[in-house]
């Protein structure tokens, strides 16, 4: 007779091997036990949106339809975060609506600073990018990988870098 630990381990190995065989990928145990679409539905995100199980979701986050939220993402809605339809939020992206700079530097005298962040429709945010609190990213914008976005981004623009700026194809401003 199998004990609970052995049964869980056998189930995990079965699911892990099935994922590898079917999709040639390895994911966290949470993503083996639920689907990304089920996770998005549980969080109240729009129809057709997928969200990896290991995404950290804080506060009030609204996400439109048919958006892909990759693994290891942080969605901080403590100051209100909205993400539109048909967006790609790549692996490791961090989107913030608050910071604790004033609280820390004032030794707790001042409070946490919050400001809503809005991501429009059809936005692509490249891997490991950081979106600062209060930023508005317009429809159709592309944020390059590993960018630090600390100011608004106009619709249909292409920005990258740290800090993110609109640049030409060779990287010049």
Write the Ramachandran bin of 107: left for phi over 0, alpha for psi from -120 to 50, otherwise beta: left
> Sorting pLDDT into bands at 50, 70 and 90, what band is 169?
low
Computed over every residue of the chain, the mean pLDDT equals 93
Q: What are the extents of the domains in the chain? A: 1-33, 35-165
The model carries a pTM of 0.89
Query: With 80 as the cut, is the pLDDT of residue 170 above it?
Result: no
- pLDDT over 70 (residue 157): yes
Query: What is the reported pLDDT for 62?
Result: 98
Task: For residue 79, give the nearest of 44, 35, 115 by alpha carbon.
Answer: 115
What does the pLDDT read at residue 168? 64
Taking only the tens place, the pLDDT of each residue in 96-123 is: 999 999 999 999 999 999 999 999 999 9
pLDDT (0 to 100) of residue 141: 97
Q: How far apart, in whole angstroms, are the C-alpha atoms of residue 140 and residue 119? A: 10
Residue 66 has pLDDT above 60, yes or no: yes
Residue 1 predicted with pLDDT over 90: no
DSSP 154: -
Position 164 pLDDT exceeds 80: yes
**Distance (Å, rounded) from C-alpha 149 to C-alpha 136?**
10
Burial class (CB in 10 A: 0-12, 13-18, 19+), 45: buried
* CATH number for the domain whose boundaries are 35-165: 2.160.10.10
Note the pLDDT of residue 4. Answer: 85
Q: How confident is the model at residue 63 (pLDDT cuts 50, 70, 90)?
A: very high
Q: Evaluate whether 130 touches 114 at the Cβ level (below 8 Å).
A: no
Q: Model confidence over 122-134: pLDDT tens digits?
A: 999 999 999 999 9
């Amino acid at each position: 007779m199998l004990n609970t630990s052995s049964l869980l381990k056998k189930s995990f190995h079965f699911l892990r091997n099935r994922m590898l065989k079917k999709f040639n990928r390895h994911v966290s145990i949470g993503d083996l036990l639920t689907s990304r679409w089920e996770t998005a539905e549980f969080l109240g995100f729009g129809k057709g949106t997928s969200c990896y199980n290991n995404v950290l979701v804080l506060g009030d986050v609204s996400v439109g339809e048919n958006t892909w939220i990759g693994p290891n993402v942080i969605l901080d809605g403590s100051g209100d975060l909205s993400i539109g339809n048909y967006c790609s939020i790549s692996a490791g992206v961090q989107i913030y609506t608050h910071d604790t700079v004033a609280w820390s530097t004032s030794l707790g005298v001042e409070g946490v600073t919050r400001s809503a962040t809005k991501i429009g429709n059809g936005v692509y945010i490249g891997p490991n990018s950081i979106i600062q609190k209060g930023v508005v990213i317009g429809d159709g914008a592309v944020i390059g990988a590993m960018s630090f976005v600390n100011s608004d981004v106009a619709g249909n623009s292409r920005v990258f870098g740290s800090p993110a700026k609109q640049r030409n194809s060779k990287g010049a401003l």
